Amino acid sequence: MEKTAKIYVAGHGGLVGSAIKRRLEGLGYKNLVYKSSKELDLRDSLAVKHFFELEKPEYVFLAAAKVGGILANSKYPGQFIYDNIMIESNVIHSSHLYGVKKLLFLGSSCIYPKFAPQPIKEEYLLSGELEPTNMPYAVAKIAGIQLCQAYNREYNTNFISVMPTNLYGPNDNFDLETSHVMPALIRKFHEAKVNKLPYVEVWGTGTPRREFLYIDDLADACIFLMDKYNQNEIINIGVGEDISIRELALLIKEIVEYKGDIIWNTSKPDGTPRKLLDISRLTSLGWKAKVSLREGILLTYNWFIKNYYKND
């Protein structure tokens, strides 16, 4: 991407989009365009077409999405499938209509089959049943991938799809009803520490294993792939190693300096047993993550205590 190119970051206010915007600015890209969801409803096809006609971006990072953890996915399945399909369809179609040079679509590792062999290779997509707790979201993301691939074949576009592993970092969602496991645990342990609670309750058994990627590493990988990758096949983004939820809880407890106990609510669902991505396709291109899990959690916790409660 030329430093003067007009780049649209869809979803710039969220965890992923804000990190991509921050990284682009750090690299000297100045011609960035973005709109908040209040300014531009990406579910509205006419509004999206008007935006693309007016702005004519050359490159698009499609990071806008409705996201959440097990509880949110279970409570709002209709919203998760509708909002995500509409956002993807409108942005991808308008990118085609208005001659975008290249688009990067952010998928998710939850699109892979629940019992996929580990580590998960890109070719395992659609080879088995999905995890029921987030199926509507996963189906929507798979539809986005198919849209990119179909448009590439029919219209000769250059739309690439990346599959990041579990993400965390500054600007994450710390709402206990809609958040993912990492920010939820950070908030739970912090509030238990502040309120001197005797224990923290964590969902499930603690046995599932997850891979976690710091958000600034993801942003770096996305810009790297926008420059280097032009294939129709999806590509995984991760760190190549995982940790059990029990180990993660103990690590966050230590970083937060909470002295109480952990109680595991085994009546709550665990979700997918293990989710570790095969990142050999990415590493063969010359990219690897830089931020360790401990360092990333500490950075995220420091951001949380400085920013999360300031508007209360």
The answer to whether the annotation marks 109 as part of a ligand binding site is yes
The answer to whether the annotation marks 312 as part of a ligand binding site is no
DSSP-based three-state secondary structure for 40 = coil
In sequence order, what DSSP letters do the residues of 250-261 get, joined into one string?
Answer: HHHHHHHT--SE
C-alpha R_g of the chain: 19
The answer to whether the annotation marks 133 as part of a ligand binding site is no
Whole-number Å distance between alpha carbons of 255 and 181: 16
**Which residue type occupies 39?**
E
DSSP-based three-state secondary structure for 7 = strand
The answer to whether the annotation marks 204 as part of a ligand binding site is no
The answer to whether the annotation marks 16 as part of a ligand binding site is yes
How big, in percent rounded to 5, are the helix, strand and coil portions of the chain? Answer: 45, 15, 40
**Which residue type occupies 229?**
Y
The answer to whether the annotation marks 296 as part of a ligand binding site is no
The answer to whether the annotation marks 256 as part of a ligand binding site is no
The answer to whether the annotation marks 270 as part of a ligand binding site is yes
Whole-number Å distance between alpha carbons of 202 and 122: 31
The answer to whether the annotation marks 293 as part of a ligand binding site is no
DSSP-based three-state secondary structure for 116 = coil
The answer to whether the annotation marks 164 as part of a ligand binding site is yes
The answer to whether the annotation marks 307 as part of a ligand binding site is no
The answer to whether the annotation marks 6 as part of a ligand binding site is no
Could you tell me where the DSSP H helices lie in the chain?
Answer: 15-26, 45-55, 70-75, 77-97, 135-155, 181-194, 215-228, 245-256, 280-283, 293-307
Whole-number Å distance between alpha carbons of 301 and 255: 8
The answer to whether the annotation marks 106 as part of a ligand binding site is yes
Question: Residues 14, 63: contact at Cβ < 8 Å?
Answer: yes
The answer to whether the annotation marks 108 as part of a ligand binding site is yes
Q: How far is CA 289 from CA 72, 110, 198, 210, 216, in A?
A: 29, 20, 36, 16, 9
Catalytic residue, chosen from 8, 137, 151, 301, is: 137
Whole-number Å distance between alpha carbons of 187 and 195: 12
The answer to whether the annotation marks 96 as part of a ligand binding site is no
137 is catalytic: yes
**Which residue type occupies 141?**
K
The answer to whether the annotation marks 75 as part of a ligand binding site is no
Whole-number Å distance between alpha carbons of 174 and 156: 40
The answer to whether the annotation marks 203 as part of a ligand binding site is yes
The answer to whether the annotation marks 246 as part of a ligand binding site is no
Q: Which residues are annotated as a binding site?
A: 11-17, 106-109, 141, 164-167, 180, 188, 203, 210, 270
Q: Which residues are annotated as a binding site for NADP(+)?
A: 11-17, 106-109, 141, 164-167, 180
Residues labelled catalytic: 137
Q: Which residues are annotated as a binding site for substrate?
A: 188, 203, 210, 270
